[in-house]
Structure 1
Amino acid sequence: MSRRRTRPELTGWQKQLVAELRALATNRPDEIRVLSSPTLQTDGTALIRVSLRTAELPHEPGGLELKDDEEFLLRLRSVPLQPPSVEVDHTRFLGFPHVLQGQRLCVYLDPSREWRPTDGMSGFLRRVWDWLADAAAGKFDAATAMYHAVGGVLHQAEDTPTIVVRETLPARAFQAARLVERTPQRLDLTYQSAGEGHRTPVVALRSELPFGAASTLALFLTLLDDPYLDAADGRPSRVSPQSPAFLTALLAAAARNPKGTPQYFVVAVPHPAGGPHHLLGGRLPADTADVLRQLAATRGVDVTIDPATINTDIAIEWCTISDERSEVTTRRDDDRPVSGFRGKTVLILGCGGLGSWVAEFVARAGAAEIAICDPGNITGGLLVRQNYGETDIGRPKAQALATRLRQIRDELIVTPSEGLIPDDLSTFLAADLIVDATVSLAITAALDVLSDTPGRRAKFAQVATDAASGMLGLLHLTTPGDGVTLSRLDELAGQSVLADAQLEAFHPLWQNSHGGDELVPTRGCSVPTFHGSAADLAAVAANLVNLIGLHLAADDVDVPGTHLVATPYASRGAPHRFLPASG
């Protein structure tokens, strides 16, 4: 007896959505009609056709042209983690903002924040109607609505490296470039002709690709020549053929790359609203690239390949593009206090509990050059709170921190010195900012002497924390020509704080340590140090860096004075307070 095959069934979630849809159609027959039963697809989704009444939606010039009734295909996921999606099976919406690959409506820009499963089908259809209303009213801005110029979606395959692009795209339609391997997961694109790297053609297309870029080479070549698939409707393509030249560029690059390696390429796709091109990176499998190399070896690199002869099974593996060109990227810390560090030269004295974190935050903020000084070496106990790792133990702090900073940003210039001050004293005059994180009386005295040095342009910032908790922060700031030294500023601030009962939480910053306030980290002749964790010190350092950034960026706060800060867990919830030197 043979076992009867069980037919695939809708999941409980899909059944719930279908029931809700039919209930809505029953209650609002003039607005919603269900035109088909749900059919299961091979990917587990259920497809159901509906008709929505759109005749009453106001239309404005430039808005989406809608019929009185529009048919849509709703795709229902098997579980409620993702929202349903909506698409059409015609091309009347092709090229309109927020229409993905010509037929799928982008009704959720960020489903993780916008989709609530408890809203069910009624909530989803409200999003669809809102999308249609905004589209008909012309409320979508084509310059910002389509994030990707290639079908409005991101193209990438699993297990492909990320291609990092920082150099500006040349004006030529066909440009030779190189992909330089930084790690197994990262390739850097460069247009420099000399040096190592995988030869890669960069091709600027004449048209956007509203249907996307396909997953096979044959289909991609079809879209290069007919991006709007006009031929399917009997019309001539809107662009001249691009695929033969693209294939020739691939052939020439493959011939110069090692046998047995895949062939990469980058295409620059114009955005429908203008502006910088969108970059798309892909690769052909090694066996396909080897066929190209064999063809080049027998017939030369100038041979013209007929796109119609391309095997339809050849896959394109799309790579993630990390497009970091300045013309297309806005820094995530744009308009934040740390923007004051951008392009600055910073000298940091002391790479310990505060200094090691300050240096990292300044590096990430976009400083152009950082010089760091510290005479100490790293021991295992320091890893509890300082910005180092196990492999740094035994290394000089300045050298280890310099290695980390260089890993954060390629273009950052880092100069380490294994002493209290820089090996090159001219660094003092070249800096825009000098941060003293040493808690050294000798360094304070030296900076006092430098305060009136002719040609000084650097602001001085001195940072410290308390011995008992490491949760209080102190920041002294002086500027060139203000006539105030760090020692005098500390004296003035201490007098003000100790005389103010409302600032009692900050009194320990100027009081002598009591028994137990300081920590003796190891037995024997161990120098007492302050309590504090990495979380405490990183939090304090972050607050101090933000305050320094404000002074660097804005003239209205560019006055000498003292900032007092505390983390939320500090005693008695100490507030932030700024004490100007004039006060």
Structure 2
Amino acid sequence: MLHSNSLQPYAGELSVEIQSAIQEISQYFEIPNPKVLILDKRRIVVPVTYKVSLPNMGAVDGINIGEEEPMLIQLSLNKYPHTAPFILSDRKDFPRAWLSHLYFTTDDEPARLCLVRNSPHEWFATIKMRDFLDVGGQWLYKAATGQLDEDGAEFDPTRLEGNISSKHIYRYDLINEVVSENQRFVSDLPAALFVGGQLLKAGDIYAYQTNAAVPFIAFEIVHNAIVRLSKEEDQDHGANPVFTFVFWDPDSAIDDLYLTSRPKNYGQLKMFFSLRGIDLHQALLKFEGLGAITRLGLPIIFAIKRPRKVIGYKGNYEFINFLIISPTGGIGALDDSDEIWLQSHIEPFSKNIASYLSARKQTPATLYIGAGSLGSKLILHDARSGNLEIGICDDGKMLPHNLTRHELFADQLGQNKAQALADIIRQFYSADNTAKIAAIKSSAIYLDSEFQHYQRIVDTTASVQVMNFLLSKQLPANIRYYKAEIADEGALGLFYAEGYDRNPRMDDLVNLACFYATKNEKLRTWRMNDAQREVTSLNVGLGCSSTTSVMADDILSFHGGIFSRILSKAVTQDSADMSGIVAVSSLDETKGFPSISTEYIEVSAFEVLNCKAGSGWEVRLTSGIKEILLNNCKQYAPKETGGVLIGIANYKTKTIHVFDIISEPQGSHGTCSGFVRGTLGLPAEIDAIKKVTGDVIGYIGEWHTHPMNLKRLSARDEETIAELVELNRTVPIPTCALIVTPDELLVYVQE
């Protein structure tokens, strides 16, 4: 019996595209005058016959595939060629129950071949009709020779098609565990009860979600909570609580046949369950008597035990989702003719899915300090990559002008930024434990014990106060401090990462970036622009203003994306050999269209010297300077030599950073008993450094050698320092004298 025997010829007009398709079908199958039949008001079919090359002994496993298979090529009257054609079996006795890669259709519909796992429409957009027809022939050959299942060790799940009402979101492993362990709600029924919800948007149901199993002992508590929520009609919960009913074969029998008959109404659904040993109607009446049916929409899942692991997850159960729209009269009022809907199923967004799709395996616990525009982007990048150990510290609220660049939206105006971002992340991961997503609604300077919970600190505040505070803290040994900021009105992004054992330290790196302006053109442009730039103040209310940058959101997002990628790669550094990082992302639009680039500078540990005079000051020398000084001492011995130190001082942290030295300026003279530093050309040389670094880096002290190994200040040294102290206080800078012996550096600092 053929489906085409009952179809009527199509006599209407055909588009040029469909006429061309029919001509190609005619040529492919060598049919001079192909029939065009009406499948329904939207689709036509062309009957064809495929010749199938069978094995000598016939089709594998006795599957009823013949040498000639009558098929139907289906075309959409209104949408072809923008929607793909389909290939249907013309046989009413096609062995669909024994074959995979078929859509789940009703008894009166022709079996529909699934030729591609992804969208058939996208696939067809890239191929010709002849290629499409070739794949149909290959499908039949594979069916006859037992090669349809390319994943031989896994079972291919049912392809759902037609009458799909909505999505049903749940974790496959959650349902699989309950069914595999036969965790029945009541002992005489192969069924479990789960709690979930109808997910709402603008009052409409857009999906169902199943979250957790409800054992009988906990049912009353859960039921009462649902009833209580249901009565709060004036509250917008974003979901209506519902129960989901999961059934399985009472004997846990393995079923290796593919589903072929999709129930269209309640009577057919009861028959579907009856064939599997379950009286569905009586089961639902029992649940109704317990008070488990609280909504008109009843999501039902049937779990089918397959002979092999099902493709897509680690379990052997395949899940088919139905939705019954129960009448107001309850289950007893259901009629056999009432329509039944299928639900497509999808895993909820989870840590595992996020990590897999982001190709990110390591997501260390991270404390973000600052939840402003830049911070919000880094926080959500990290969260979307599967990190569920995130702390967010910010005491600020979302204000209207923040909408320009912030990841939060208008419905979060007035909320604390840290709390709002934490709430969003928790909503992402409704199926995961989000207890370690923490909002800290206070200033960073009050942080203390919180640090022990994290392996990374990411500071996006651009606050010197916050940086100084973090420099003063004795952080846990396993924590690494990162800092990100935008510079030069968005032209540059600067990202810093401390090295092993906090060396180089954050202030080393931030100031080093300024010094690198002496070597790097992009940094030089930034520093010189910065020295001339006026701070922009935005009026946000009567009598108050906010210092902010004029910058488009896409510029900030560009740098934020680069910073996020650096963060993901930095965790792979070996901790013992971990150097510091200064990364520069550049967006140059001075010549019209944007030109982008990134540079990464690895920074070795600084040499750290403490003041020998007990002033509490610390001098930090960039890597390599110590060796240069010791070599100078050796090279010029027995005479003394010297020069000046180039760097910057921070009175708040009592730290001097030295990035370079100038040796023996013109006019300098050294003897075996002393050194007189010359000044010829020195002011101009230092002014040039100050200019290109935006008046940040300059003269910061003196150095000279004691080749005879005098490990203290000489009387003349003390006199010179006393003179310099008075002079330097007018600048003001501390007075720093660095003594270089053959094997040691000695530093003396006075304010």
Counterparts of 1:143-542 in structure 2, within 5 Å, are: 149-150=157-158, 152-153=159-160, 157-158=164-165, 160=166, 162-165=168-171, 168-169=174-175, 170=178, 171-172=181-182, 173-183=190-200, 184-189=205-210, 190-192=212-214, 193=218, 194-195=221-222, 196=226, 197-205=241-249, 206=253, 207=255, 209-226=258-275, 241-244=276-279, 246-255=280-289, 256-257=291-292, 261-271=296-306, 273-275=308-310, 276=315, 277-287=317-327, 290-292=330-332, 311-324=335-348, 331=353, 333-334=355-356, 336=358, 338-341=360-363, 344-410=364-430, 411-412=433-434, 413-421=436-444, 425-450=448-473, 453=475, 455-468=476-489, 470-478=490-498, 481-496=501-516, 498-501=517-520, 504-508=521-525, 510-511=527-528, 513=530, 515=532, 519-522=536-539, 526-542=545-561
Corresponding residue SS for 1:354: helix
Spell out, residue by residue over 1:109-150, the C-alpha distance to the aligned partner (whole angstroms, 9 max, x if none).
32243113882x323213323444555482632469876x33
Spell out, residue by residue over 1:240-295, the C-alpha distance to the aligned partner (whole angstroms, 9 max, x if none).
x4232x33322222222467734332222334532422333323222287143x8x
Unaligned runs of 5+ in 1: 1-5, 27-32, 227-240, 295-309
Cα offset for 1:482? 5.0
Counterparts of 1:14-29 in structure 2, within 5 Å, are: 14-26=18-30
Cα offset for 1:368? 2.1
Which residue, 573, 579, 582 being the options, matches 2:601? 579
Q: Give the letter aligned to residue 437 of structure 1.
A: T
Q: Residue 399 and residue 101 in structure 1: after superposition, are their counterparts in 2 closer, same or farther (change >3 A)?
A: closer
Partner of 2:73: 74
Which residue, 105, 113, 116 being the options, matches 2:125? 116
CA contact (8 A) 1:181 1:187 kept: yes
Residues in 1 aligned to 2:545 and 2:458: alpha-carbon distance in whole angstroms:
27
Partner of 1:306: none
Cα offset for 1:354? 0.7
Cα offset for 1:86? 0.6
Partner of 1:141: 150
CA contact (8 A) 2:355 2:361 kept: yes
Partner of 1:44: 42
Larger Rg: 2
Residues in 2 aligned to 1:274 and 1:162: alpha-carbon distance in whole angstroms:
21
Q: Give the letter aligned to residue 413 of structure 2.
A: I
Q: Give the letter aligned to residue 129 of structure 1.
A: G
Q: Residue 446 and residue 117 in structure 1: after superposition, are their counterparts in 2 closer, same or farther (change >3 A)?
A: closer
Cα offset for 1:315? 1.8
CA contact (8 A) 1:517 1:530 kept: no
Q: Residue 439 and residue 281 in structure 1: after superposition, are their counterparts in 2 closer, same or farther (change >3 A)?
A: same
* Deviates most, 125-134 or 85-94: 125-134
Residues in 2 aligned to 1:401 and 1:332: alpha-carbon distance in whole angstroms:
17
Q: Residue 433 and residue 116 in structure 1: after superposition, are their counterparts in 2 closer, same or farther (change >3 A)?
A: same
How many corresponding residue pairs? 527
Which residue, 76, 95, 101 being the options, matches 1:98? 101
Cα offset for 1:186? 4.3
CA contact (8 A) 1:52 1:71 kept: yes
Residues in 2 aligned to 1:581 and 1:8: alpha-carbon distance in whole angstroms:
79
Residues in 2 aligned to 1:258 and 1:312: alpha-carbon distance in whole angstroms:
19
CA contact (8 A) 2:63 2:98 kept: no
Cα offset for 1:338? 4.3
Cα offset for 1:372? 1.6
Q: Residue 478 and residue 348 in structure 1: after superposition, are their counterparts in 2 closer, same or farther (change >3 A)?
A: same
Cα offset for 1:359? 1.5
1:547 aligns with 2:586: no
Residues in 1 aligned to 2:553 and 2:512: alpha-carbon distance in whole angstroms:
30
Residues in 2 aligned to 1:313 and 1:482: alpha-carbon distance in whole angstroms:
73
Cα offset for 1:545? 1.3
Residues in 1 aligned to 2:336 and 2:282: alpha-carbon distance in whole angstroms:
18
Cα offset for 1:83? 1.5
Residues in 2 aligned to 1:127 and 1:518: alpha-carbon distance in whole angstroms:
66
CA contact (8 A) 1:478 1:484 kept: yes
Spell out, residue by residue over 1:326-375, the C-alpha distance to the aligned partner (whole angstroms, 9 max, x if none).
7xx9625527464432xx42211111121111112222222223222223
Corresponding residue SS for 1:484: coil
Q: Residue 369 and residue 266 in structure 1: after superposition, are their counterparts in 2 closer, same or farther (change >3 A)?
A: same
Residues in 2 aligned to 1:83 and 1:535: alpha-carbon distance in whole angstroms:
37
Partner of 1:305: none
Q: Residue 213 and residue 52 in structure 1: after superposition, are their counterparts in 2 closer, same or farther (change >3 A)?
A: closer
Cα offset for 1:203? 0.9
Q: Residue 92 and residue 259 in structure 1: after superposition, are their counterparts in 2 closer, same or farther (change >3 A)?
A: closer
Cα offset for 1:561? 1.4
Spell out, residue by residue over 1:18-44, the C-alpha distance to the aligned partner (whole angstroms, 9 max, x if none).
222223344xxxxxx579611112242
Corresponding residue SS for 1:252: helix
Q: Give the letter aligned to residue 40 of structure 2.
A: T
Cα offset for 1:579? 1.0
Residues in 2 aligned to 1:509 and 1:409: alpha-carbon distance in whole angstroms:
41
Q: Give the letter aligned to residue 17 of structure 1.
A: A
CA contact (8 A) 1:340 1:552 kept: yes
Q: Give the letter aligned to residue 432 of structure 1.
A: Q
CA contact (8 A) 1:437 1:462 kept: yes
Corresponding residue SS for 1:331: helix
CA contact (8 A) 2:96 2:260 kept: no
Q: Give the letter aligned to residue 130 of structure 2.
A: S
Q: Give the letter aligned to residue 197 of structure 2.
A: V
Corresponding residue SS for 2:442: coil
Spell out, residue by residue over 1:553-574, the C-alpha distance to the aligned partner (whole angstroms, 9 max, x if none).
5649954312222458687734
Q: Which has the higher strand share?
A: 2
Spell out, residue by residue over 1:444-473, the C-alpha distance to the aligned partner (whole angstroms, 9 max, x if none).
1222233x54x43222111111132x2532
Cα offset for 1:163? 4.0
Q: Residue 282 and residue 7 in structure 1: after superposition, are their counterparts in 2 closer, same or farther (change >3 A)?
A: closer
Cα offset for 1:47? 1.7
Corresponding residue SS for 1:541: helix
TM score, norm. by length of structure 1: 0.78
Residues in 2 aligned to 1:546 and 1:534: alpha-carbon distance in whole angstroms:
18
Which residue, 547, 572, 580 being the options, matches 1:560? 580
Q: Residue 211 and residue 517 in structure 1: after superposition, are their counterparts in 2 closer, same or farther (change >3 A)?
A: farther
Residues in 2 aligned to 1:175 and 1:407: alpha-carbon distance in whole angstroms:
26
CA contact (8 A) 1:155 1:319 kept: no
Partner of 2:85: 84
Corresponding residue SS for 1:443: helix
- Structure 1 residue runs of 4+, over 6 Å off? 56-65
CA contact (8 A) 2:369 2:458 kept: yes
Spell out, residue by residue over 1:281-313, the C-alpha distance to the aligned partner (whole angstroms, 9 max, x if none).
323222287143x8xxxxxxxxxxxxxxx9541
